Amino acid sequence: MKLSRDGIGGLVVFAGSLVLIWMTLGLKDNPLVPIGPGFYPRIVIGICAVLGFAMFVNDWHDQRKAGPAPAKAPRDGPSLNYTLVGLMFAVFAVYAVALPFLGFRIATFAYVAATNALLAPPTEPKHWVRVAILALATAFLTHLLFENYLSVLLPRGRWTGL
Amino acid sequence: MFELLASGIANIVQFKYLIPLAIGSLIGVVGGALPGITITMTVIVVLPFTFGLEPLQGLAAMIGVYVGGETGGLITSCLLGIPGKPSAVATTFDGFPMAKKGEPGRALWLGIWASIFGGLLGAVVLVGATGPLAKMALEFGPWEYFSLFVLALSMVAGLVEASLVKGLVAGAIGLVITVLGNDPVMGKPRLTFGIEFLEGGVPFLPVLIGVFAFAQLMSEVERMGGGRDAFAAVDRAVNLAVSHFKVIGEILARPILLLWSSFIGLVIGVLPAIGGSAANMLAYDQAKKFSKHPEKFGTGIPEGIIASESSNNANVAGSLVTIMAFGIPGDAVTAVMLGALTIHGIQSGPLFILQNPVLAYGMFAAYIVAHALVLIILWIGVRWMLRIVTVPKAALFPVVLVLCVIGAYALNNTMDNIYVLLISGLFGYGMVKFGFPLAPFILGVILGDQIEINLVRAIMTDDNPWLFLTRPISGGLLIASVLSVALAVWQHRRQQRKGVAPAQDDVDF
């Protein structure tokens, strides 16, 4: 059975909805109120399950009707750089984890430097200087502006106290 | 009404409100002009700056971004042929050819003046219609609210061009997100997976920021690396001199086009979550259909620019009507505004104008004054805009993401919001890759709680479910929901029969 991304997406939504519906079955109704905590979630998740299943069936039907897939035509324009996207998410995840330990200024400096270097890899020493200036300026100016002028508190580092 | 508006204008021109409005307008113009950075992204970036401000200061800044962004988007459309934002796509069709023919100043200023006129025509409806609509909504009971929110959601799902089922699935997933956490009646935890943070529900602003920021930035990142610089060959010293009287005369000589395009923009703005991207295309299409010389469209004629730009600025007024009268965001920008209102403890919806007349009329005034400010900003700074918009994305994106982190964290000073931001980002990017539209998802997340609360309230008031259909307004709204989905199904079938591939682009959300 061949499925496109729609079919796979529909199947994931359907399976996820079934798990959530099963979880709502454990929610007990309260005799004091006419509708329990599981009433609305069951309706919404049920609709989600039906729609996910419809998406899957729709796609399965379309794929059967279309027959064997023709050879993939070459993509117009540059190829998509998913490795870079993956790295961007990974660096952001490290930033999110490091923030409460290193504090806003140090973590942000490291994050901006890493992301900037990832997106435009420095090849000469002056490029590294540019990366450092951008990271420093972002970390310290945002901290100064938000903490001192806009009264917005930013994360403090458990390890650094900054 | 006029007294309140006059006092709103007197209020907004005070320095403490005018400065955030002017800064917001400037940021909006730059954000709107930057290809790959939408107005939603720009308003998300501005959001954390508003936390420490008074509500009207913050909202004025956001309105400035919104108006400035809609106008700024035309700069690169006209001068580079690259739309600064989705709602300026149609401006490219005639703006760029006109600029290539040696009239870049005329193309640009036709767009700017048409934006100003369209926006101000929208202001008439914004000021005149919001109050009466809110008064009408005050008559609503929980049945009507439930049906209204269902209509909003079904319309958005149905209007997504790529796939109706996907639009509905996206909306349903948004609703599912809102059932995580304590139930609104007895406060009993449900579907929390044992995570204490989830007991309070999933906060919608980190979700909105994460979904949009990552979906948009990562879609740009995946095209980076190895490609040529789109701005490498840009002539940054282009001559933009033009006679403004002549340009204004050209626009005012086409009053029907201006009025009709602004009307289209307004109506599309009032409809939830459709946005300027649909408004400018539809207005352009209408202008072409009613023109005596449709074959000239796309060759650099003023009608194309006027239609597109007047409609997308009028669209802003329409979106503001919906959020101020009903509490339903007209698009992603107003969804962020809704979040900003919530942060300041202000309840949006029909009571908003009655309970906060100073704030409401201050918002109207900010919308009107923002047009003047945008005009001044562009008058002074348009010659430098091409230099600003060619800033490298490698430097811009990390800064934008840091501001998103601040926006999420500062909501209630908890790291959990940053984790929600990251998970939402992954989820949003995944949705884009699987071709799910973001608009219905976000509307589901925003309206989910209200739909549940009103459903529960209605059933607890009277357990007769037929009341949803037998109460005239509620029944009418539910019938309209069914009709909107049926219309969407019919349109999709018709497109399929004609063999037209549906557009994969998302709406403005």
Give the whole-angstrom CA distance, residue B424 versus residue B327: 24
**Per-residue pLDDT at B509:** 46
Secondary structure (DSSP) of B233-292: T--TT------HHHHHHHHHT-HHHHHHHHHHHHHHHHSTT--HHHHHHHHHHHHHHH-S
Q: Which residue from A40, A99, A151 is facing B455, i.e. has the nearest CB?
A: A40
Average pLDDT, chain A: 89
Give the whole-angstrom CA distance, residue B497 versus residue B503: 15
Q: Which residue from A6, A34, A96 is facing B460, i.e. has the nearest CB?
A: A34
Residue B226 has pLDDT above 60, yes or no: no
> Which tokens belong to B189?
């935890």
Q: Which residue from B224, B399, B405 is facing A84, i.e. has the nearest CB?
A: B224
Average the pLDDT over B179-195 and give the result: 86
Give the whole-angstrom CA distance, residue B451 versus residue B447: 6
> Which tokens belong to B361?
């009329």
Residue B504 has pLDDT above 70, yes or no: no
Give the whole-angstrom CA distance, residue A138 versus residue A130: 12
Give the lowest-confidence range in A111-125, B240-254, B381-395: B381-395
**Per-residue pLDDT at B119:** 93
> Which tokens belong to B345?
């403890």
Give the whole-angstrom CA distance, residue B287 versus residue B279: 12
Average the pLDDT over A127-143 and give the result: 95
CA B402-B405-B406 angle, to 5 degrees, is: 90
- CA quadruple B304, B40, A142, B338: dihedral, nearest 10: 130
Give the whole-angstrom CA distance, residue B482 versus residue B328: 19
CA B17 vs CA B8, B365, B491: distances in Å: 11, 11, 46
Give the whole-angstrom CA distance, residue B286 versus residue B280: 10
| Cβ pair B222:A116 closer than 8 A | no
| Cβ pair A80:B223 closer than 8 A | yes
> Which tokens belong to B163?
């796939």
**Per-residue pLDDT at B507:** 41
Angle between helices B39-50 and B393-409 in degrees, nearest 10: 50
Tabulate helix, strand, coil % of chain B (nearest 5). 75, 0, 25
> Which tokens belong to B392?
């490298």
Q: Which helix (H) or strand (E) holds B302?
A: helix B302-326
Number of Cβ atoms within 10 Å of the Cβ of B125: 20
Nearest CA in chain B to A59: B165
**Sign of the torsion angle spanned by Cα atoms B38, B364, B61, B324:** negative
Angle between helices B332-343 and B204-221 in degrees, nearest 10: 140
Mutation pick from A3, A35, A51, A102 vs chain B, by most beta carbons of B within 10 Å, is A51
Average pLDDT, chain B: 85
| Cβ pair A84:B52 closer than 8 A | no
Average the pLDDT over B67-91 and give the result: 83
| Cβ pair B173:A108 closer than 8 A | no
Give the whole-angstrom CA distance, residue B178 versus residue B441: 11
Give the whole-angstrom CA distance, residue B403 versus residue B43: 11
Residue B228 has pLDDT above 70, yes or no: no
- Cα Rg of chain B, angstroms: 22
pLDDT in tens, B132-145: 888 888 888 899 98
CA B478 vs CA B160, B184, B459, B481, B486: distances in Å: 19, 24, 17, 5, 12
| Cβ pair A100:B415 closer than 8 A | yes
Average the pLDDT over B286-314 and give the result: 87
| Cβ pair A116:B393 closer than 8 A | no
Nearest CA in chain B to A134: B395
- CA quadruple B158, B163, B164, B167: dihedral, nearest 10: -70
Residue B52 has pLDDT above 70, yes or no: yes
Q: Which residue in B49, B64, B68 sits closest to B403, CA to CA?
A: B49
**Per-residue pLDDT at A1:** 67
Residue ranges of domains in chain B: 2-230+242-498
Q: Identity (one letter) of the amino acid at B82?
A: I
Which of helix, strand or coil describes residue B180? coil
Give the lowest-confidence range in B106-120, B176-190, B336-350, B453-467: B336-350
Give the whole-angstrom CA distance, residue B20 versus residue B58: 7
> Which tokens belong to B440?
């219905």
**Per-residue pLDDT at B344:** 78
pTM for the model stands at 0.85
Separation in Å, CA of B456 to nearest CA in chain A: 7
pLDDT in tens, B237-258: 667 778 889 999 999 999 999 9
pLDDT in tens, B303-327: 999 999 999 889 889 888 888 888 8
Give the whole-angstrom CA distance, residue A159 versus residue A156: 9
For residue A144, what is the DSSP state? I
**Per-residue pLDDT at A159:** 92
User: What is the percent of chain A where pLDDT is above 70?
Assistant: 92
Give the lowest-confidence range in A98-112, B221-235, B275-289: B221-235
Backbone dihedral angles phi then psi of residue B435, each to the nearest 5 degrees: 80, 20
Residue A145 has pLDDT above 60, yes or no: yes
- Split at pLDDT 50, 70, 90, the class of A12 is very high
Residue B105 half-sphere exposure toward CB, CA atoms < 13 A: 13
Give the lowest-confidence range in A114-123, B122-131, B371-380: B122-131
**Sign of the torsion angle spanned by Cα atoms A135, A141, A142, A144:** positive
**Stronger pLDDT, B2 or B432, i.e. the higher one:** B432
> Which tokens belong to B418?
């940053």
| Cβ pair A152:B436 closer than 8 A | no
Query: Which residue is it, tokens 């949003």?
Result: B428
CA B80-A116-A144 angle, to 5 degrees, is: 100
| Cβ pair B402:A112 closer than 8 A | yes
Cβ–Cβ pairs < 8 A, chains A and B: 179
Query: Which residue is it, tokens 């219609």?
Result: B129
**Per-residue pLDDT at B231:** 54
Cβ neighbours of B421 in A, within 8 Å: 96
pLDDT in tens, B8-36: 899 899 999 999 999 999 999 988 888 77
Q: Which residue in B404, B452, B468 sits closest to B210, CA to CA?
A: B404
pLDDT in tens, B448-487: 888 898 898 898 888 888 999 999 989 999 998 898 888 8
**Per-residue pLDDT at A75:** 60
Contacts of A123 (CB under 8 A, 6+ apart): none
Give the whole-angstrom CA distance, residue B78 versus residue B234: 13
Query: Which residue is it, tokens 């660096």?
Result: A91
Average the pLDDT over A131-157 and give the result: 92
- Split at pLDDT 50, 70, 90, the class of A70 is low
Cβ neighbours of B455 in A, within 8 Å: 40
Average the pLDDT over B186-207 and give the result: 86
| Cβ pair A40:B48 closer than 8 A | no
**Per-residue pLDDT at B259:** 94
**Per-residue pLDDT at B506:** 42
Give the lowest-confidence range in A44-48, B89-93, B108-112, B371-375: B89-93
**Per-residue pLDDT at B508:** 46
Angle between helices B332-343 and B55-79 in degrees, nearest 10: 160
Which of helix, strand or coil describes residue B78? helix
**Per-residue pLDDT at B235:** 59
User: What is the percent of chain B where pLDDT is above 70?
Assistant: 93
**Per-residue pLDDT at B137:** 83
Average the pLDDT over B376-404 and give the result: 86
Give the whole-angstrom CA distance, residue B296 versus residue B310: 20
Which of helix, strand or coil describes residue B77? helix
